[in-house]
A and B are shown apart, each in its own frame.
Chain A
Amino acid sequence: MMTSINLMAISMNILKLIGVLFSPVVFGLAFLGPLLSEIILLLNVTVPVGDPLIWGVVIGGILGGIAQWRGSWIWVKPV
């Protein structure tokens, strides 16, 4: 009985971890962040302060956070 409860708890934790890894916030930080910083450099945009990578990660993180909260990257919620 204890073993099955432990296995279930482990499975639930793994599923939670997978949910976090595939979440929009992680995607925004881990992919959109560096991508935005490369676009900033490509377009020769001068950032007011700091490194373009920091700006990219901040903007990517905010976009990911909004996507997480709204359930949509494009603001419009899926029906």
Chain B
Amino acid sequence: MGETSMNEAIMSKDALQALSPEALDALERKIAGRHMHRIPWGAVAWGLGNLIFWLSLWPLVFLDYLSLWLAFPLATLSISLSYLPSHEAQHSIIAREGHRLRWLNELVGHLSPIPLAQPYRVLKATHMEHHAHSNDPELDPDYAVHAKDDWAFLKNSILRRQPAGPAQKAYGDALVRTHQEHLMIDALIFNAVFTGTLFALAWTGHALEAALLWWLPKHLAQTYIQYYLSWAPHHPGIRQERYGQTRAFKSQLGNLISMGMQFHIIHHLYPRIPLSSTPAAFHELKDILELRGCDIGGWADSDHKSEAA
């Protein structure tokens, strides 16, 4: 960080308050801009490597090189990690349209969520609606995740996935509303391949492998992803304005296990900042966000230099 930028980052709250709204906006954008426009190679390696890892579990188990009971938690971990690289691609963080590496952005976007049996184009279309209408009960496809506490979230998450539950309806409604109903074909194909694979494995004597390498890990991963990516950073989900849609929070499990979502507020304000840069961006923008009335969780009195490190 250069001397000028460091000075910007450590301006006192009084000095920030003295700035005109235009100067504060410009400073916020300038600080955020420093964290954009770089290719997150880590996310690329993560997305493609994680898919290879999950796929490799199958032959390892089938050829008896790996116990199914050990492969089960590994598959759960892998599927839990399969969404975020695609999320980077959904926001064109890896490469924007027209960039020479755009193909890589789309490759990671399509391939990394395969273990979740979720099509990239549907994820992207519905996620853009989530960003456009965060916390809107009618228009945010992820709104139904909201619940009063952790246990209510878990109960809600299980109930929403039942046959008569509304889990997929909000996504379908969002596609219809945005005139992208043709993408339901993608969802249909993914669902057919997923259930067809489960059925085929089950009737060829590999039902336990299908259950413990894909079906159950997928459900556990979905719960985990919904908790940290949707529920926790948007709780209590009552504000819809730019600086109130999300919050920062301190996870008891740390930043890694909470998948970097402690700083999801940065992602909603500046979706082009790569996930790996959101902690640093948050600590540099924290005082400005506090002035904006953001909920910055337990980070208010933290020392930004040591925390960012």
Contact = CB atoms under 8 A, between A and B. Distances in A.
Interface string A17-35: 0100111100100110111
Contact of A72 (B162, B188, B195): B162
A71 B158 CA distance: 13
B192 interface: yes
B208 A42 contact: yes
Contacts of B208: 35, 38-39, 42
A78 B160 contact: yes
B195 A21 contact: yes
Contacts of B202: 30-31, 33-35
Q: Chain A contact residues: over half helix, strand or loop, or mixed?
A: helix
Interface residues of A, number: 26
A31 B164 contact: no
B211 interface: yes
Interface string B2-31: 000000000000000000000000000000
Contacts of A76: 159
B163 A31 contact: no
A72 B198 contact: no
Contacts of B215: 31
A74 B162 contact: yes
B199 interface: yes
Contacts of A68: 163
A55 to B, nearest CB: 14
B254 interface: no
Interface in B202-218: 202-203, 205, 207-208, 210-211, 215
B165 interface: yes
A72 B199 contact: no
Contacts of B207: 31, 34-35, 37-38
Given A31-B207, A38-B207, A18 B188 contact: yes
A24 B165 CA distance: 13
14 contacts: A22-B191, A30-B202, A31-B195, A31-B215, A35-B208, A35-B211, A38-B208, A39-B208, A67-B162, A68-B163, A71-B163, A71-B165, A72-B159, A76-B159
Interface of B: 158-160, 162-166, 188, 191-192, 195, 198-199, 202-203, 205, 207-208, 210-211, 215
